[in-house]
Amino acid sequence: MTNTREFVVADDFVGWRLDKFLAAQMPDFSRSEIQRFDVLRNGRISKFSDKIKQGDAIVVNIPLRQTNVATENVSNDLDLEILYQDDDIIVINKPRGVVMYPSAGNKTGTLVQNLLSVTHLSALGGETRPGVVHRLDKDTSGVMVFAKSDAAYRGLVKMFSAHDLTRRYIAFVWGVPNWTGADITGNIARSSRNRQKMTMVKSGGKPAHTVVDVLNVWPRAGVSEFRCTLMTGRTHQIRVHLSSHGFPVLCDPVYGRASARLGSVRDADLLDFIKTHNGQMLHAQVLEFNHPITGKRMCFKTPLPDDMLELKEVISG
């Protein structure tokens, strides 16, 4: 099935490239998207680089996109906590331990597949990532937004790319700082030794900036609670930045340096928690942004998950 749009070239657009003209007439699509559509000019196939003339009749056939996540693999095994939804977006509180979307080792039970059991998502994210405009690691919990409409998808992608929004996380870390706040900057790149890890580099990589505020410290346990505000959005950014500055996130199997820390733990309850718990103590607490369609300012704040509350009780006891 297709959606057909028709245009007649007015004098103001004479001499324009065909793709530039169509981008002006259909601002909800990018020029690269438009160049994949079937377009007829005066009943004939035309190159997108062709210059148009007054009175040209343009017919655009837009295929109706559908997600390619197989319907038989749609999951409803999660009790989704939906914070908000309308025709364009859905905001949820992601639980820890849930993979974002299907991949080679995770065919079912993903967050996207569970969302598809309760709503539709924009197919612009790709075959297995419909509606996905940002991501959280499997073992990071917290607030997320997904696009339901294509227009919302484009708006959210631009917003996240420009970082025109607020993202705040809570992290429980090893170490007690002698400061109350810090700006951590440093480029991040994929590790040459382990392609599954990210690392800070002196040259190359992508610039990254994290603002850290100290919320609580427990000197006896050697643990602190940080609020981390993302000024950029790199893969594993908070985990890499904190670990590289000597404050690795508790229970982080990749950057947590557990072997170097466990020997110094004297609290039996804390030691038991760390040894038996899976998943870094990192939670996306706040997501604030302008609605991609209405422009309304929206702010979502999620409480700490049960395991982080349990940890706080253990180190406060």
Do 270 and 59 touch, CB atoms closer than 8 A? Answer: no
Q: How many CA atoms lie within 13 A of 296 on its CB side?
A: 7
CA dihedral 60, 64, 69, 75 (to 10 degrees): 150
Residue 297, classed as helix, strand or coil, is strand
Residue 137 annotated among the catalytic residues of the structure: yes
DSSP 162-225: HT-SEEEEEEEEES--SSSEEEEE--EEE-SS-TT-EEE-SSSSB--EEEEEEEEEETTTTEEE
Q: Which two tokens stand for residue 29?
A: 């699509």
Neighbours of 151 (CB within 10 A): 18
Kind of pairing, strands 89-94 and 82-85?
antiparallel
End-to-end CA distance of the chain: 63
Among 41, 33, 44, residue whose Cα is nearest residue 58: 41
Residue listed under structure tokens 């590289």 = 244
Among residues 19, 56, 137, 252, the one annotated as catalytic is: 137
- DSSP H helices in the chain: 18-25, 31-34, 111-116, 150-162, 237-244, 258-261, 268-276, 306-316
Residue 51, classed as helix, strand or coil, is strand
Do 279 and 156 touch, CB atoms closer than 8 A? Answer: no
Q: Amino acid letter at 236?
A: H
Catalytic residue ranges: 137
